[in-house]
Amino acid sequence: MSKVVDYPSAMSPVPSATSPEAVLVPPPLLPLAPPRRRATFLPFSPPSVGEEEVEAVTQVLRSDWITTGPVAKLFERRFAAAVQAPEALAVNSCTAALHTALAALEIGRGDEVITTTMTFAATANVIEHVGARPVLVDVEPDTLNIDPARVAAAISPRTRAIIPVHFGGHPAALDAIDDLAAARGIPVLEDAAHAVPAAWRGRPIGADGRLVAFSFYATKNLTTAEGGMLTGPSDFLAKCRVLALHGMSRDAAERYRVGGSWSYEVHRPGFKYNMPDLQAAIGLAQLQKLDAFARRRQEIVARYHAAFADEEALETPVTRDGVTHAWHLYPLRLRLDALRIDRARFIQELTERNIGTSVHFIPVHLHPFYARTYDLAPHDFPVAYANYLRLVSLPLHPRLTDAEVHDVVEAVYDVVARFRR
Ligand SMILES: *Cc1c(COP(=O)(O)O)cnc(C)c1O
């Protein structure tokens, strides 16, 4: 590579004060040694699946039942036990879980649902799907979770639910949110796409009959390629179970089993959101590894924290007292005033060093649909917007080796050193 790079301040030749030349002649533009680069691209978040998952899927494929049936039931029971939920409903995505819950809560036209702008668009999209209005609010500056004070200010007579998102795996301030919801008699539906296994004040996210939607998307802490789970009280989940399968009174496994009846009734046009046994088999294998996955995530986070804590150009993610963090993401924040480059260039520099990264999230209010429909400007949510501009998610998954973590740290430091202001 013969590209001429800016001088990193630490390596700039210092002109000698005694040499008149040094004052008159600008330092020559020396081609810097190219940054050390990994031999291969380090992907941001590949799935952590092994032979156990392959074996489990093969077994289902060789059986006579491949869609929703006994394996999905078992996955529901084991997942519910893992998060101490009274019951769980397996569906084909977290989006489906959120949508089904809103529909079962009979939320629709004329209703408002409060959620955070710092989330994946799916959280807001499902509110649109039921015909309600998403009321976006800003986040807390430390956790980037929904700000209860902003929720309080956004509550109106039309508010029918609050959807906090456990950003990056750090539980939202559920006590304050619960108080606001209880005062108005409205439900809290948690988007826990990032939060397995996580805990709030000693209780697992998903426990105690709370309404919680989980994601098993390919990049998430536990994956079934695509998939999701809804936890909640048994009577509520019974309603969701019907809605998630066409609104039919009895599922296919029941109808097709020996002695099963062909008859069923549809009382409401439901959705096609059931999770097939094929995918539930992956989930069961993943569930067995969840504790080990969580430990490895914590180890990697400890390494990142130690490496970046004292670097003034970087801000590491926080953990509040009383929470167990699921560490789905490692959202590093750049202190842009300490750097000569913006976030986009920072990511480009990491990509050139063969390090995959991502940004979580492009705030919902920046997406054209929401900006246009609700007349929202970037600075309407100043905390989310200012942080969006400086967020970079680093690779964080159980398969990362210590050497790979070292490569990420080295690449980040190389970029910081070259582009320090
Ligand atoms: C991934 C994600 C979702 C959607 O999950 P799917 O299972 O892909 O539907 C929802 N909310 C958040 C915060 C997510 O990160």
User: 35 versus 84: which is more confidently predicted?
Assistant: 84
What single string gives the DSSP state of each residue in 252-286? HHHHHSTT--S---BSS---B-BPPHHHHHHHHHH
Please state the atom number of ligand 1 nearest to the C-alpha of residue 93: 7
Task: Give residue 68's region: left, alpha or beta (phi > 0; psi -120 to 50).
Answer: beta
pLDDT at position 26 over 80? no
φ/ψ of 54, rounded to 5, equals -60, -45
pLDDT (mean) for 231-247: 97
Q: Do residues 119 and 249 touch, judged by C-beta distance below 8 A?
A: no
* pLDDT value at residue 366: 98
Which of 44, 217, 327, 396 is the pocket-test mutation for ligand 1 (most atoms within 8 Å of CB)? 217
pLDDT at 352 over 50: yes
How far, in Å, from the CA of 334 to the mean position of ligand 1? 25
Q: What's the pLDDT at 16?
A: 39
The Cα 269–Cα 343 span in angstroms is 46
- Does residue 29 surpass a pLDDT of 70? no
| Known catalytic membership, residue 220 | yes
Is residue 20 over pLDDT 60?
no
Confidence at residue 254, expressed as pLDDT on a 0 to 100 scale: 79
Contact 114, 135 (CB under 8 A): yes
What percent of the chain has pLDDT above 90?
87
Q: Is the pLDDT of residue 212 over 60?
A: yes
Tell me which long-range contacts 40-45 makes (C-beta under 8 A, separation of at least 24): 40/354, 41/354, 41/356, 42/354, 42/355, 42/356, 42/395, 42/404, 42/407, 42/408, 43/356, 43/395, 44/219, 44/356, 44/357, 44/358, 44/393, 44/395, 45/219, 45/356, 45/358, 45/395, 45/396, 45/397
* Residue 9 pLDDT exceeds 50: no
Beta carbon of 120 within 6 Å of any ligand 1 atom: yes
Distances (CA, A) of 55 to 30, 61, 62, 110, 310: 56, 10, 11, 49, 45
Task: Identify the band that residue 31 occupies on the pLDDT scale cut at 50, 70 and 90.
Answer: low
Contacts of 173 (CB under 8 A, 6+ apart): 140, 143, 145, 146, 148, 164
Give the whole-angstrom CA distance, residue 99 versus residue 102: 5
Over residues 37-60, the mean pLDDT reads 96
> Alpha-carbon distance 105 to 383, whole Å?
31
Each residue's pLDDT tens digit, 366-418 = 999 999 999 999 999 999 999 999 999 999 999 999 999 999 999 999 999 99
Confidence of residue 189 (pLDDT cuts 50, 70, 90): very high
Expressed in angstroms and rounded, the spacing between residue 80 Cα and the centre of ligand 1 is: 19
pLDDT at 30: 53
List, edge to edge, every strand of the sheet that includes 112-116.
133-137, 112-116, 159-163
Q: Pick the atom of ligand 1 nearest to 219's CA.
A: 1
Report the alpha-carbon distance of residue 221 to residue 297 in Å, rounded.
9
- Please give the Cα distance from 420 to 391 (Å, whole number): 17
Share of the chain above pLDDT 70, in %: 92
CA 374 to chain centre: 24
Confidence (pLDDT) at 13:
36
Cα 230 to averaged position of ligand 1 atoms, centre (Å): 13
Residue 213 alpha carbon to ligand 1 centre in Å: 9
193 pocket-lining for ligand 1 (C-beta < 6 Å): yes
* Residue 32 confidence (pLDDT): 60
pLDDT digits (tens, 9 = 90+) for 100-157: 999 999 999 999 999 999 999 999 999 999 999 999 999 999 999 999 999 999 999 9
Mean pLDDT over each residue of the chain, to the nearest integer: 93
pLDDT exceeds 90 at position 324: yes
Which of 3, 73, 220, 289 is the catalytic position?
220
Burial class of residue 176 in the structure, from the number of CB atoms within 10 Å of its CB (0-12 exposed, 13-18 middle, 19+ buried): middle
Tell me which DSSP letter residue 356 carries.
Answer: -
Per-residue pLDDT band for 296 (boundaries 50, 70, 90) equals very high
How much is the pLDDT for 79? 98
Alpha-carbon distance of 415 to 73, in angstroms, equals: 49
pLDDT band at 11 (very low <50, low <70, confident <90, very high): very low
